[in-house]
């Protein structure tokens, strides 16, 4: 509802009253900004609106109403400044000033529902592109709050000029002097001139306003010179980036020529990366948010525009372009107290999923003492990866150990098939730690693990990885494990595998099932070798390992093969088998 009461608005407030009003306004601004970033149901939104309600009720317990005058993008109470901000959309005072409100007034018994509805109303009207048919005043009128009053500006009163004549003061003596002065007499017509003709003033005639000796200009004081210099400097340094963005967005809306439309996007791309690089995230957010709004509005009027805008958004998420931004190069610049950090996080949430190609390495380089920023980035990566899992797949495949270990927990929440594919890719990573983690998680995520895809891990250079794959094979049973192990050992024998430990581990795993299924392979490896193999160290490893495997299996058939080897003409085979038999 509206009101025109003054309520002793300009009586100076007491100290406690002013402090209570400032506290309420600070909570109001904070709650508004939270509503702009998070949904109403979000924990942060509920927490901030509850704090605002608490501070308003505390003020209204001692005073009948809290009237906040709005002017120059700030809030004022009884002539005292409570809050001053800049002309941007995360400043509620700017929105109220922009839409022509003179004040907001909160009355006693203000319900929480009205407080929350007011914040939603202001957030809904933050952007004129989003609400082209209305404004804050109209929305307030529609809501018809019972405990929130307001007054819109009288635009007709602004058009009339009002002069305060009381400032023009003159004593009767001063008035008489002017009347009696010869200069106050009406000018006469020159001799011979027609009646009513006024003679041009003599340039030599003295002026009643200036001294006869000339005009004296008072010199500026040092303070005035400093103020003038500061004003000039401020004007010279005035930034018009926000205005430029506004103009370019308007061009997008009204432009029907594709070529000109693309030119406007080129300028907007420059402004995007320029403001992003300089940490002016509030302007970057303004640009990006409006682009998304414009895209939705123009898709029917200009059917060709959505594809152009989609390509534009992909350009904004380009890994190479973002890699040149200052805070991507130096992650220490991003801290919880960084100005406009919430707007930056919102920007990253609005960009396409391709942004994770930049955010993954960035999150890994965030210092451990800056967990707030790192966790925010991980949450964004998680949400984007769920939209396009293949991007996370590509990111992990091209990234180092640190990025993989950091982002691997995010894969858990994906669909099993997507998660299994990513974990399988990790088993091929250059880092043993990543391979080990990928193997463990793949076995858990895959409905039916494909051990043939894990075949290279049998010869892994890291003993921990080999132990894990052989353990998982043992759990899978001999029907799956024996053919895979035999195939690995055959290849190792033919290709001359250089790691004896991996070969021994393979034979040990093959023998652990203690079945006769592996006997043909073991017999062939032990007995069917060429004489020249005696001088091949790799072949010698296979012979000794095969003999140990036969002894481990221990069946009559296995022992028969071992005894046969003990009688071989080849001294290397005979000695290996006899040595095992003596054990």
Per-residue pLDDT of the chain (583 residues; tens, 9 = 90+): 555 444 444 567 888 999 999 999 999 999 998 888 888 888 888 999 999 999 999 999 999 999 999 987 899 998 889 999 888 888 999 888 888 888 999 999 999 999 999 999 998 887 765 554 457 888 888 888 999 999 886 544 433 334 344 444 555 555 455 445 554 455 454 454 444 444 444 444 444 444 555 556 678 888 888 888 888 887 777 778 888 999 999 998 888 889 999 999 999 999 999 999 999 999 999 999 999 999 988 888 889 999 999 999 999 999 999 999 999 999 888 887 778 889 999 999 999 999 999 999 999 999 888 889 999 999 999 999 999 999 999 999 999 999 999 999 999 888 888 999 999 999 999 999 999 999 999 999 998 999 999 988 988 889 999 999 989 998 888 889 888 998 888 888 877 666 788 888 888 888 888 888 888 988 888 887 665 555 555 678 888 888 888 888 888 998 998 888 888 888 888 888 888 888 7
CB within 8 A of 209, min separation 6: which ones? none
Q: What is the pLDDT of residue 177?
A: 55
CB within 8 A of 491, min separation 6: which ones? 497
**Which residue among 133, 155, 177 closes a domain?**
155
Q: Where are the beta strands (DSSP E) in 97-167?
A: 101-107, 148-152
Q: Is residue 228 part of a domain?
A: no
**Which residue among 106, 133, 155 closes a domain?**
155
How far is the C-alpha of 390 from the C-alpha of 413, rounded, in Å?
A: 14
Q: Are residues 278 and 372 in the same domain?
A: yes
CB 77 within 8 A of CB 69: yes
Angle in degrees, 0-180, between the axes of helices 500-511 and 463-476, rounded to the nearest 10 = 20
Query: Scanning the structure block, which residue is given the tokens 């990866």?
Result: 385
Q: Are residues 28 and 146 in the same domain?
A: yes
Backbone angles phi, psi at 290, to 5 degrees: -70, -35
Residue 351: CA count within 13 A, CB half-sphere? 25
Q: Are residues 253 and 382 in the same domain?
A: yes
**pTM assigned to the model:** 0.57
Q: What is the pLDDT of residue 533?
A: 58
Q: Is residue 63 part of a domain?
A: yes
Give 510-531 as a DSSP string: HHTT--GGGHHHHHHHHHS--G
Q: What is the pLDDT of residue 7?
A: 45
Q: Is residue 193 part of a domain?
A: no
The SS3 of residue 446 is coil
Q: Are residues 249 and 358 in the same domain?
A: yes
The SS3 of residue 2 is strand
CB 42 within 8 A of CB 3: no
Q: Is residue 580 part of a domain?
A: yes
CB 63 within 8 A of CB 17: yes
Give 49-91 as a DSSP string: HHHHHHHHHHHHHHSSEEEEEEETTEEEETTEEEEE--SSTT-
Q: Is residue 564 part of a domain?
A: yes
CB 472 within 8 A of CB 449: yes
DSSP 563: H
**Which residue among 155, 182, 208 closes a domain?**
155
Q: What is the pLDDT of residue 129?
A: 55
From residue 543, alpha-carbon distances to 69, 470, 522 in Å are: 94, 21, 9
Read off the tokens for 106: 């909160």
* Interstrand relation of 80-84 and 101-107 (parallel, antiparallel or unpaired): unpaired
147: exposed, middle or buried (Cβ count in 10 Å: 0-12, 13-18, 19+) = middle
Q: What is the pLDDT of residue 183?
A: 46
From residue 563, alpha-carbon distances to 200, 525, 568, 571 in Å are: 142, 15, 9, 14
Q: Is residue 179 part of a domain?
A: no
Domain that residue 488 falls in: 478-583
Please state the domain count of the chain.
Answer: 3
Q: Are residues 382 and 485 in the same domain?
A: no
| Of 570, 498, 566, 576, nearest in space to 534 by CA | 570
CB 131 within 8 A of CB 124: yes
CB 527 within 8 A of CB 562: no
First to last CA, the chain: 99
Q: Is residue 277 part of a domain?
A: yes
Query: Scanning the structure block, which residue is given the tokens 């303070």?
Result: 223
CA dihedral for 280, 286, 287, 289, sign (positive or negative): positive
Q: Is residue 229 part of a domain?
A: no
């Amino acid at each position: 509802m509206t009101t025109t009461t003054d309520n002793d608005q300009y009586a100076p407030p007491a100290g406690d009253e002013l402090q209570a009003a400032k506290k309420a306004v600070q909570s109001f601004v904070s709650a508004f900004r939270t509503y702009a970033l998070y949904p109403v149901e979000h924990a942060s939104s509920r927490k901030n609106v509850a704090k605002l309600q608490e501070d308003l009720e505390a003020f209204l317990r001692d005073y009948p109403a809290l009237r906040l005058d709005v002017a120059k993008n700030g809030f004022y109470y009884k002539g005292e400044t409570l809050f001053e901000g800049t002309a941007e959309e995360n400043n509620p005072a700017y929105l109220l000033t922009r839409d022509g409100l003179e004040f907001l007034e909160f009355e006693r018994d203000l319900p929480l529902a009205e407080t929350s509805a007011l914040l939603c109303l202001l957030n809904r009207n933050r952007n004129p592109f989003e609400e082209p048919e209305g404004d804050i005043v109209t929305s307030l009128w529609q809501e018809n709050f019972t405990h929130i009053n307001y007054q819109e500006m009288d635009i007709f009163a602004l058009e009339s000029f009002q002069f305060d004549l009381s400032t023009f003061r003159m004593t009767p003596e001063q008035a008489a002097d002017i009347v009696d002065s010869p200069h106050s007499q009406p000018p006469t017509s020159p001799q011979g001139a027609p009646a009513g003709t006024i003679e041009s003033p003599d340039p030599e005639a003295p002026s009643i306003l200036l001294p006869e000796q000339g005009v004296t200009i008072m010199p500026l004081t040092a303070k005035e010179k400093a103020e003038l210099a500061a004003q000039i400097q401020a004007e010279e340094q005035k930034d018009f980036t926000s205005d430029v963005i506004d103009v370019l967005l308007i061009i997008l809306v009204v432009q029907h020529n594709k070529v000109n439309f693309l030119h406007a996007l080129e300028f907007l791309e420059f402004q995007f990366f320029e403001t992003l690089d300089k940490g002016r995230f509030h302007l970057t957010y303004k640009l990006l948010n409006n682009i998304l709004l414009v895209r939705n509005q123009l898709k029917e009027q200009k059917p060709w525009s959505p594809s152009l805008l989609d390509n534009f958004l992909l350009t904004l998420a380009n890994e190479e372009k973002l890699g040149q931004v200052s805070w991507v190069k130096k992650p220490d610049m991003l801290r919880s107290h960084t100005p406009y950090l919430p707007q930056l996080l919102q920007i990253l949430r609005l960009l396409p999923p391709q942004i994770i190609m930049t955010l993954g390495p960035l999150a890994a380089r965030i210092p451990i003492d800056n967990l707030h920023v790192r966790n925010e980035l991980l949450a964004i990566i998680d949400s984007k990866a769920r939209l396009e899992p293949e991007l996370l797949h590509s990111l992990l495949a091209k990234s180092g150990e640190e990025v993989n270990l950091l982002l691997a927990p995010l894969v858990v929440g994906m669909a099993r098939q997507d998660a299994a594919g990513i974990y399988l890719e990790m088993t091929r990573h250059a880092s043993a730690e990543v391979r080990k983690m990928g193997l463990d998680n793949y076995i858990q995520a895959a409905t039916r693990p494909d051990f043939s895809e894990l075949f290279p891990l049998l010869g892994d250079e890291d003993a921990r990885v080999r132990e894990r794959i052989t353990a998982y094979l043992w759990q899978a049973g001999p029907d799956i494990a024996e053919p895979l192990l035999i195939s690995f050992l055959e290849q190792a024998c033919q290709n001359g595998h250089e790691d004896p430990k991996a070969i021994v581990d393979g034979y040990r795993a093959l023998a652990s099932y203690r079945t006769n299924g592996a006997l043909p392979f073991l017999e062939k490896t032990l007995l069917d070798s060429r004489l020249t193999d005696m001088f091949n160290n790799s072949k010698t490893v296979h012979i000794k390992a095969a003999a140990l495997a036969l002894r481990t299996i221990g069946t009559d058939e296995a022992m028969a093969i071992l005894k046969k080897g003990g009688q071989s003409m080849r001294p290397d085979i005979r000695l290996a088998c006899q040595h095992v038999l003596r054990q």
